[in-house]
Amino acid sequence: MKPKPSCEHLSEVDKHRKPNTRGCEECLKMGDSWVHLRVCLTCGHVGCCDSSKNRHATNHYISTDHPMVRSLERGEDWGWCYVDQAFFEPLG
């Protein structure tokens, strides 16, 4: 899929942003578990996905307005724009 023409967020973020941690930052502090991980393409925050009980990636977006994340799962090369509610692949 290609980004929607009206979405400018992909050009505003670092598609190769390094994650701050190897696991969900908040879950690690709480001693909790997660299902899948997402990294914020603005600041590198690592949060758990919406299939996880804590939904820290979405909560990070809500508290910061950082628009995009990418999957940290092995073999996955896609991103998600919270603002436009759109998937982007491949991020390359």
Note the pLDDT of residue 8.
78
pTM, rounded to two decimals: 0.89
Question: Angle at the Cα of 2 (from 72 to 37), degrees rounded to 5?
Answer: 15
Structural tokens at position 26: 């908040």
Is there a contact between 84 and 6 (Cβ–Cβ < 8 Å)? yes
Domain boundaries, the chain: 9-88
Superfamily name with CATH number, domain 9-88 = Zinc/RING finger domain, C3HC4 (zinc finger) (3.30.40.10)
Note the pLDDT of residue 51.
97
pLDDT tens, the chain, 92 aa long: 554 445 678 888 888 899 999 999 999 999 999 999 999 999 999 999 999 999 999 999 999 999 999 999 999 999 999 999 988 887 76
Structural tokens at position 89: 């692949």
Note the pLDDT of residue 50.
97
